[in-house]
Amino acid sequence: MPQILVVDDEIGIRELLSEILSDEGYSILLAENAAVARRIRGERALDLVLLDIWMPEMDGISLLKEWSAAGLLTMPVIMMSGHGTIDTAIEATRIGAVDFLEKPIALQKLLATVKDALKQKLLPEKQPGVFEDFERSALFRDFRKRLVQAAAKTRILLIRNATGGIAEIGARALKNPRMPWLDLSSSSAPLTQATLEDVAGGVLFVPDLAVLGKSQQKNLAFVLDRLEKYRLKLIVSCARPLSSFGGADWNPVLLARLDDAGISLPPVAEYADEIPLIAVFLLSYLVGRDEVPVRRFSRDALGVLCSHRWEGEWAELHATVRDLAFFALEDEISSNDVKCVLRREAKPRQMEEKLLRQPLRDAREAFERLYFEHHLKNEGGNMARIAERTGLERTHLYRKLKQLGLNYGRRSEEGVD
């Protein structure tokens, strides 16, 4: 039987919560202040704590910090407040609280939140980057507040003008370390009710809407109809306007539902003076995830990044930082490294200009060759995945590659998702 500690200075709230949760089969302990809660925590192994923020002598945030600093935050903690703010909710989540309930607490909201919290791990997962560092940036500090504020009103959020790691940094502002997280682009296998039950109360994330294959789009439509049932947040990021997704490949109803609640990351140009700071944080984020070798920027390298015109916006900045980590031969990324990578990344834009100067038939063939070369490289020649990505039937795909004179090798496709 899960053991839950309710900490609140108002006797009426303590008794009401005790009665409701006892009826649900939980074992309830009560504390009227932080001192009593501290003593109970020292004597017992708790499964969950409901902790009021505003209490005399010591408030709930201070007690949460104390437990965290002492290594005693080994159980989920849900904060409660009658007059909470977005900033308070963010602070509590950052310290280690798993959720935040605003008084008066609705019965169903209470029971669902308690159920989700009890399913979460006792030990925090490895964090992909130190997200607190990003809050030194005015851009991410303001953006995080807007995301948290919007997420309080809707289960669907579209992050515009960003993809990949940049978008994930924002998306993870809406989850605590123990909350379930599922990347919907990580598999093409059909989602099931059981999968959603496993991540109930968590966050579903799409790092780039534009790259989803048809089966992944079906998964997206599947979860849209079940967000409320499984108390899920869906966060989708995309650098392109949804109006550019027209055609038979995309369901217009699906796009319209995603477009209802969107937040745009401001253009890079508006925060040009923060580019060095953000580049350093991005590199630290990628290193922390073991995605790139350990590197650091020289001052001159940051100066080159700062002076560059980021026509590809945040997606280009993120890709450039990642490429630099692999390109640099030394631990310190030099200004010459940055110049070389930026020149290399300018070639696709030059290719685009070259295509526009050709007759339509020649330009179409050149683009198709470039397009299929890209997918052959990215998918390692796996024809099942290439067919999924390009939306072509397998026989048609083989015929097209042969027509373009591209070598596809018919490699083994065992282990395809």
Sorted by where each begins, the domain ranges of the chain are 3-119, 131-264, 268-350, 360-403
CA 290 – CA 287 distance, rounded (Å): 5
* Partners of residue 27 on adjacent β-strands: 3
183-194 pLDDT, tens digit per residue, is: 888 777 788 888
- The sign of the dihedral angle between the CA atoms of 154, 112, 181, 204 is negative
Distances (CA, A) of 416 to 10, 387, 407: 57, 12, 20
Does the pLDDT of residue 415 top 50, yes or no? no
CA 222 – CA 191 distance, rounded (Å): 8
What the block records as the tokens of 353 is 């200009």
Cβ neighbours of 341 (radius 10 Å): 21
57-113 pLDDT, tens digit per residue, is: 889 998 998 888 666 788 899 999 887 667 777 778 778 888 889 888 999 999 999
| Percent share of the chain, pLDDT over 90 | 28
- Tell me, rounded to whole angstroms, the distance of Cα 47 from its chain centroid: 27
CATH of range 268-350; options 2.40.160.100, 3.90.1150.10, 1.10.8.60, 3.30.230.10:
1.10.8.60
Query: How confident is the model at residue 345, as a pLDDT?
Result: 66
Dihedral Cα 28, 34, 37, 43, nearest 10 deg? 180
Does the pLDDT of residue 211 top 90, yes or no? no
> What Rg value do the Cα atoms of the chain yield, rounded?
25
Cβ neighbours of 374 (radius 10 Å): 12
Q: Is-contact 275 303, C-beta < 8 A?
A: no
| 413 — pLDDT class (breaks 50, 70, 90) | very low
Identical fold for domains 3-119 and 131-264, yes or no, is yes
Query: Can you list the alpha helix ranges (DSSP code H) found in 270-334?
Result: 275-288, 299-307, 313-327
**CATH code at 131-264:** 3.40.50.300
What the block records as the tokens of 307 is 């002076």
Class at the top of the CATH hierarchy for domain 3-119? alpha beta
Across the chain, mean pLDDT equals 82
